[in-house]
Amino acid sequence: MSDEVWTTLIATGGTVVVAYITQVVAKRVIATRKTRRQREVSEDEAEAVDRYTSDPGQFVRDVLKSNDQLTKRVEAAEDKADKLQRAFDAFRDKDRKFRNALARWFVDIMAAFEANSIEMPYPREGDQDILSDVIPSALEATQPRRPPRR
């Protein structure tokens, strides 16, 4: 036989031996892990298996009942979340309207001071940051120290 044939036969034989050894080792590892897992089964799992083997129909009914209970709890939580979201949206809308109305009123006050050539009093330095959240556009537009917001 030629050298190529012998090389092919040796390579094939080596591959078969490696595959066989790998298979034996894999089976041994799988069996070891399987027995270890069986020893680690918790009491709840063992009880569930016992209940299933004694009465599979009742076990399935219990699982479905539990599933229904969980579904009801999830739906109740979703309803609460929807109510909270609606309340938050209503609050945000009311707050936006409040801020806009306050800003318009503040602008009217500024216009009245300007029409009478009286210098309008501005909030104190410490109060500017607090009021800037409520009436930011009016404060920023009228304060000469602050550039207008864009």
What does the pLDDT read at residue 143?
55
| Per-residue pLDDT, 25 | 93
Q: What is the mean pLDDT of the chain?
A: 81
Contact 108, 138 (CB under 8 A): no
Which ranges in the chain belong to alpha helices (H)?
Answer: 3-39, 43-54, 56-115, 125-134, 136-142
- Check pLDDT > 70 for residue 148: no
Domain residue spans of the chain? 1-40
* Closest residue by Cα to residue 143 from 130, 128, 134: 128
Return the residue matching tokens 């009093």: 121
Is this model's pTM higher than 0.85 or not?
A: no
Whether the per-residue pLDDT at 97 is higher than 90: the answer is: no
How confident is the model at residue 127, as a pLDDT?
Answer: 76
What per-residue confidence (pLDDT) applies to 110? 78
150 in Cβ contact with 119 (< 8 Å): no
